[in-house]
Structure 1
Amino acid sequence: MPFDLGVTARLTAECRDPGGTLTDATTAAVTVTLPDGTTAAPAVTNPPEQSGQYHADYVTEQPGRHTVRWVFTGPAYAYTDVLDVRPEQSPAILSLKDAKQHLNLSLAGTSEDDEVRFWNNATTTAIEYFVGPVVPRTVVEDHAVGEVLALALRRAPVLEVTAVEPLRDGGTSYNPDRLNTDAPVGIVSRKDGGLLRGPLRVTYRAGRLIVAENISGAARIILQHLWATQRPTRGGGLPGARDDFSVTEPIPGLGYAIPNRAVQLLNPDDQGPGLA
């Protein structure tokens, strides 16, 4: 499961001899490669507390995918793993509390929190497939255009355009205060009616400040469905709910992952990315 930015992640690995038996190594080292390509080498205690079972503690510094490489000598053994770190801003539509309440999980217990958060984040991705960004985020995108009356940003709805800069020397930058932004569809144009001359790099904030109830309701249905399909023999979800008939046909791009009830709730927003 992903770790939060800034927490201490415990990295673990086993060292085995050629016969497959757990054994202490003469040397043990772990290297973490961060998303930006830099590396860190957390300390590894050797010999370990339990034979052949090593760990190192690493304080996460960057969001994104990390590579973890363990190397042992005496015997020669190696192991490669990955470590995912969430961004500082939550990517979820529902809070952890709301998600657990909807799944009828104890708010006091924490043993399933990581799994709930994982499926909660996956639910947000599914929702945004239909309606565009919901959770506010900064987007930087390049537009290889010549002279145009307007730019169509790719991640609508748009909360705010913060910068429009040239991608080549001698190009023109545009003050966002002198631009019109059609927020629901993400169309940007000059207030004076002039042309935008590219290529341009646009930085903007996309998402919603208010999440409509049809969106949060659909998120609850999708979360319940994903949770139930991963735990067919366990409790969770709404009492008496029959999720087996909530999906009747595949949805292009998502297969059977989304119940039709959720799609129907999202239908008022499903007029193109970001329309609300």
Structure 2
Amino acid sequence: MPFDLGVTARLTADCRDPGGTLTNADTAVVTITLPDGTTATPAVTNPPEQTGRYYADYVTAVPGRHTVRWTFTGPVHASTDVLDVRPEQAPAILSLRDAKQHLNLTSTHEDDEVTFWNNATATAVEYFTGPVVIRTVVEDHAVGAVQALALRRPPVLEVTAVEPLLDGGTSYDPGQLNVDAAVGIVSRKDGGLLRGPLRTTYRAGRLTVAENISGAARIILQHLWATQRPTRGGALPGARDDFSVTEPIPGLGYAIPNRAVQLLNPDDQGPGLA
């Protein structure tokens, strides 16, 4: 499961001899390759507390996917793993508390997995609605001279920069631009042309999450949680969470129950309900 940015991630690996038996190594090194290509080598205690079972603690500092490579000598052994670090801003529509309450969970034992599926739920919702979770978007527009730009991830809260991609191009002051927030259309207040190619930076998402969106998120979360646990708790009493409540949706298959789609329909901005 992904780790939150800034927490200490415990990395583990087993060292085995050629016969597959756990054994202590003469040397043990773990190398972490960060998303930007730099590396870190946290300390590894050797010999370990348990024969052949090594660990290292690493304080996460950069969001994104990390590669973790363990190498041992005496005996020669190696293993490779990945470490995912969430961005500082949670990519979820529901709080962890709300998600657990909806799933009828009271302990903390499954918080990491609830967080994972809660974040996946947000992605499914935004397939239909566009951004709900507030984030900064940077996108390039390979245009010539145009009357308006169509930003790709509305709703738009604020355009913060419109800059040229080529040397000698023109920048545009966001204060001199009209922005249709709902559909993401940007134009000049003076009626002039926008001359590209341009790089736009803007904040997208919703300051207030409507109840049909948060309600749909709860339904999708419940469905994803239940389909991963056909013999365990988590579903609401009397709820049907099998595939019969869904029909395949282009790009999402059976991930979204029909009742969630119906709730999201008034906010459709994505390709799923074209």
Same fold, judged at TM 0.5 (above) = yes
Alignment partner, residue 46 of structure 2? 46
Alignment partner, residue 89 of structure 2? 89
Alignment partner, residue 173 of structure 1? 171
1:9 to 2:13 alignment? no
Alignment partner, residue 128 of structure 1? 126
- What is the distance in 2 between the residues matched to 1:175 and 1:103? 47
Structure 2 counterpart of 1:212, from 198, 210, 213: 210
- Equivalent position SS for 1:125: helix
C-alpha deviations, 1:186-241, integer Å up to 9, x for none?
00000011000001000000000000000000000000000000010011121111
Correspondence list, 1:1-276, <5 A: 1-106=1-106, 109-244=107-242, 247-272=245-270
- What is the distance in 2 between the residues matched to 1:124 and 1:154? 18
Gaps of at least 5 residues in structure 2 are none
- Equivalent position SS for 1:243: coil
Q: Which residue identity lines up with residue 139 of structure 1 in the other structure?
A: V
- Equivalent position SS for 2:91: coil
**TM-score, structure 1 as length reference:** 0.97
By how many angstroms is 1:248 displaced? Answer: 3.5
CA contact (8 A) 1:222 1:258 kept: yes
- Equivalent position SS for 2:217: helix
CA contact (8 A) 1:225 1:259 kept: yes
Q: What is the aligned-residue identity percentage?
A: 86
- What is the distance in 1 between the residues matched to 2:96 and 2:196? 43
Gaps of at least 5 residues in structure 1 are none
- What is the distance in 1 between the residues matched to 2:93 and 2:243? 25
Q: Which residue identity lines up with residue 104 of structure 1 in the other structure?
A: N
Go from structure 1 to structure 2 and tell me whether the alpha carbon gap of 1:246 and 1:214 turns closer, same or farther (over 3 Å shift): farther
By how many angstroms is 1:246 displaced? Answer: 5.3
- What is the distance in 1 between the residues matched to 2:113 and 2:244? 23
CA contact (8 A) 1:246 1:260 kept: no
- What is the distance in 2 between the residues matched to 1:69 and 1:81? 6
By how many angstroms is 1:270 displaced? Answer: 1.3
- What is the distance in 1 between the residues matched to 2:77 and 2:190? 67
By how many angstroms is 1:2 displaced? Answer: 0.3
Q: Which residue identity lines up with residue 66 of structure 2 in the other structure?
A: H
Q: Which residue identity lines up with residue 93 of structure 1 in the other structure?
A: I
- What is the distance in 1 between the residues matched to 2:37 and 2:245? 43
Q: Which residue identity lines up with residue 267 of structure 1 in the other structure?
A: N
- What is the distance in 1 between the residues matched to 2:264 and 2:198? 33
- Equivalent position SS for 1:184: coil
By how many angstroms is 1:111 displaced? Answer: 0.6
Aligned residues: 271
- Equivalent position SS for 2:149: strand
